[in-house]
Structure 1
Amino acid sequence: MNGLFKDDPSYRYQIQQWKRTALEKFEEKMKDKERPFPCIPATIGFTTNQLRYGFVGDPRASSTIDEVVVLLSEYTQRSKQFGKFTSLIVFYETPQDLIETYCVEKYEQLFWEHLSGISRKDSQEWPKHIPDDPHNAIWEFCFNGEQYFIYCATPSHRNRQSRYFDYLLLAITPRWVLQEFNTSKIYAENIKSQVRKRLKNYDSIDIHRDLNSYGENDNYEWRQYFLRDDETTLSKCPFQQFLRKIVE
C-alpha cells in the first residue's frame, strides 16, 4: 500500500510492522502531555488529523529518492485540501545496521543528498521569486512551484530530542501553513515564545543559534533543516554542492 494516507487504526493493521511501529512512536511524541513536542504547528496538525503520512525505503538506496518524489508530488497537488495546519511526514525504513553505524553527520550527508536528488527530479522550474542561492535570506526549498520548510529527525540525535526519532524522518511543511502563524504579530511572537520554552524543557542542550525567523536578514532557512546534536553548523549549504556534483 503506497501513497499518502490519513492515519486511522484500521489502516495500521494493513501495513508492515516497521511502519506500524513508526506511526506508534510518532503518536507518542505528538500526544505527550508531560513533555509537549516543541513544534506547535505539528501538534495542532496531528490533533486535527491534518497531517499526511508516507513510507519510503532505505535512505541509502537511490530508488528511495524517487519514492519521496512521488509522495511529495501527490502532496503538493492536494495539500490545500487537508487543512491549514497540514504537513507531509515521511518515514524512511531505517535498518538496524544503519542505526548502529550512522552518526549524526552521516545522516546529515544523506539528508542533503536526498534534498538535492528530489530537486533534480522536480518537473517544474524553480519559482522566480525565490533566489536559487541558499545564502540569500529569503531562499527556501521549493518543489513543484511550492515553498517548503524541511525538518529532519534521526535515530542518532541524543542531546536534541526535538530532532530525535526512531527512524529517519522528514516533516515537509508548506510555507503557507507557517504564514498562518504570522497573520498577527502578537500571536506569532506568543507562538515563538512557547516553542522556545518547550525546546528548553525538551532538549538537554541550549537552543541552536541557527533557529530564527524566515525573511530576517540574519536568517538562513537551510541551517534549520538539519540541526546537529551540538552547537556546530556547516559553513556552506551542501544543497548546491550536491547539485554541482550531479551536473558534472
Structure 2
Amino acid sequence: MKLIYDKISLDKNEAILGDWERKAFHLFSEKIQNKELKFPCIPATQGFAMNHFRYAFIDDPLDMNSLSDFAGKFTYYSEISKTTGTYSSLIVFFKNIPETERYTPENYEALFWKILSSIKQFDEEQWPIDIPTDPENKLWEYCFAGEKYFMYCATPSHRHRNSRFFPYLMLAITPRWVLNEFEKNKILSSKVKKEIRRRLNQYDTISPHPDLNQYGKEDNYEWKQYFLRDDHSSPKSCPFSGYGKNDINSESKKNKNNL
C-alpha cells in the first residue's frame, strides 16, 4: 500500500508520483494558492500553506481493490491526524478513467456515496455510539475508524460551482475535532465564515447552495453539504448505505432481540 504524503515530500521529490498524480497535485496547489481568484475556504488555504494536509492518490474509484487501498490510507490518516496540525485534512485524488468521462454531477454524486458506503466494509472500528446511524437525524455525520468526519467532494463535471470543481474526482476529509477547534474562538470564526461566504459569491457563477448550513443548528443536516449539486436541487434522502461489519452484526443482533 502506498503511503499518504505531505506537501513538503511532494514538493521535494516529485519522482515518487506517477504522471496523473503529479498533475493532480499541481492543479490542486494552483487552485488553492490562486491570489487573483481566492479559494473561498480560508482554513483550507491555511492548512495547505502550513503543511497540515495529507494527500492520497487512488487509481480507480470503481474498483474494489482501489477502494480497499483507500480505506487503508484513510485508517492510517485517522491514526496520525492529530499529529499533523490543527488545520488537518486528508485530500484524496482519484484517477480519471474512461467510464467516468461523461459523468454528470448526479453521476458523480452517486459514485461519491457508493465510495463512502463501500469502504465501510473495510472499517474495523464500530460506528461511534454517540453518533446516530440514521442520516436523517441532524446529529448524524460520516464516521470511519472510530472518528467523525466532514466530507467535501469536487468533480470534473461541476460548471457553475467552481468551488466544487476539480479536474479529478477529489475528496477533502476533515476530522470533526479540527472543526471544533476552529469554532472555539467564536468572534474569529464568525468573521472567517462571513469572509468565506463573500468569497464564495465571487468564486461561483451561481448563488450558494441552500443546503449550506452550520453544524448543530436544528435545520442542519451534515450529509447534504458533503456533495453539492451544480444547481440548487438536493437528493430527497441520504444515499449512504454502508456501515462497518461490526455495526451490521450489532444491528442484526439488536433486531433479533426485539422480535
- Report the TM range for the smaller structure's normalisation: over 0.9
1:213 aligns with 2:214: yes
Report the equivalent of 1:134.
Answer: 135
Report the equivalent of 2:44.
Answer: 42
* Root mean square deviation, CA, Å: 1.4
1:13 aligns with 2:18: no
Q: Distance in 2 between matches of 1:111 and 1:199?
A: 23
SS at match of 2:240: helix
Report the equivalent of 2:176.
Answer: 175
The one-letter code sitting in structure 2 at the alignment partner of 1:81 is T
Taking the TM superposition and a 5 Å limit, the aligned residue runs for 1:1-248 are 2-8=2-8, 9-95=11-97, 97-240=98-241
The one-letter code sitting in structure 2 at the alignment partner of 1:5 is Y
* TM-score between the two structures when normalised by the length of structure 2: 0.90
Same amino acid, percent of matched pairs: 48
Contact 1:19 1:55 in 2 (8 A): yes
* Number of residue-to-residue matches in the alignment: 242
SS at match of 1:238: coil
Q: Distance in 1 between matches of 2:164 and 2:113?
A: 16
Higher-Rg structure is: 2
Report deviation, 1:229. Answer: 0.4
In the TM superposition, structure 1's runs of 4+ consecutive aligned residues that sit over 4 Å from their partners are none
The one-letter code sitting in structure 1 at the alignment partner of 2:112 is F
* TM-score between the two structures when normalised by the length of structure 1: 0.94
Q: Distance in 1 between matches of 2:93 and 2:165?
A: 13
SS at match of 2:16: coil
Q: Which moved more, 1:42-51 or 1:53-62?
A: 53-62
Q: What are structure 1's unaligned runs of at least 5 residues? A: none
SS at match of 2:7: coil
Contact 1:99 1:156 in 2 (8 A): no
SS at match of 1:162: helix
Q: What are structure 2's unaligned runs of at least 5 residues? A: 249-259
